Amino acid sequence: MQREREGGLGGVFTAVLTPLDEHLDPDHEAFVRHCLRLLDAGCHGVSVFGTTGEGNSFSVAEREEALEALVEGGVPGERLLPGTGSCSLTDAVRLCEKALGVGAGGVLVLPPFYYKDAGDEGLFRFFAELVERVGDERLRVYLYHIPQVSGVGLSLELMRRLHEAYPQTIVGTKDSEGRWERIERTCRELDGFEVFAGSEEFLLRTLRAGGVGCISASANLNSRLARRVYDLHEAGEDAEGAQRDLDALRKAMEGYPTIPALKALLHRATGEEEWTRLRPPLLPLGEREERELASGVPVEELL
């Protein structure tokens, strides 16, 4: 069961890969199958169309259709945390409205990332306008901080200001910058803010610091291990060994581009051709790279 929290989410969420058909369009059937597999493996929820899901490579209409397909295929809406960010305010509003329409438990929103010098005031106005235009008390926004990819970061001061202005709507963050010091500071200084680490590497430390869990790309494969760390911590038991097991698997994947590597491993684990494809500009791993990667990752033991 998903951990009960007042007004929010918690636990192990997978940053879900998007399977593609031969035309490089989202394959809805494979998408549903994978999300249900992840939930069966113990994930508290699935975050679709984020960075790992190649979200910004797909149109608004493609993402809307896929969300509908997931819910129609049996994925509970309340366990969805879709990426709805866009440089276009109106597109972000439309995607948030669609997420609410399928009953999503929250939305993960990137800052508008084209204009790098907008500053905190410009970013505040974007998120404030988003909340006001959606105008729905069900909206739960998780701010997505991944400046090494987006080129635009979210300062703690900005997140505090947004949370204070919209305490029931802007409720948390996914921090994927990869700096423990920032995650810890966010947990300790932003009272009532729900902090997800962007990597399972920080899962146990985040929970101990008062955060709510992780949203991890690697959980496409290692969600059972991540869930074990979470459950041990929640039970007040020693989770250090389980965290070390989790870290060892992630280390085996270091040095490879994340999305192509994970898709290659999923293809080997499932035999499903939908995982061999990425939408350009991303490219699959070469055969040699894939063999080297697979030799160090026991995929058959994970799914």
- H or E, element range at 85: none
How far apart (Å, rounded) are the C-alpha atoms in residues 235 and 292? Answer: 38
Whether residue 174 lies in the annotated active site: yes
Q: Where are the alpha helices (DSSP H) in 173-285?
A: 180-189, 203-208, 219-234, 240-252, 258-270
Please say whether the beta carbons of 82 and 62 come within 8 A: no
Catalytic residue among 174, 186, 230, 256: 174
Residue tagged active-site, from 52, 84, 142, 144: 144
Decide if 84 is catalytic. no
* Whole-angstrom distance, CA of residue 107 vs CA of residue 166: 15
The answer to whether the beta carbons of residues 225 and 250 sit under 8 Å apart is: no
Name residue 180's amino acid: W
If phi over 0 gives left and psi between -120 and 50 gives alpha, with beta otherwise, what is residue 272?
beta
DSSP letter assigned to residue 187: H
51 is catalytic: yes
User: How far, in Å, CA of 46 to CA of 28, rounded?
Assistant: 15
18, 51, 169, 173: the catalytic one is 51
Q: 56 Cβ partners below 8 Å, 6+ apart?
A: 85, 86
Please give the positions annotated as active site.
Answer: 51, 114, 144, 174
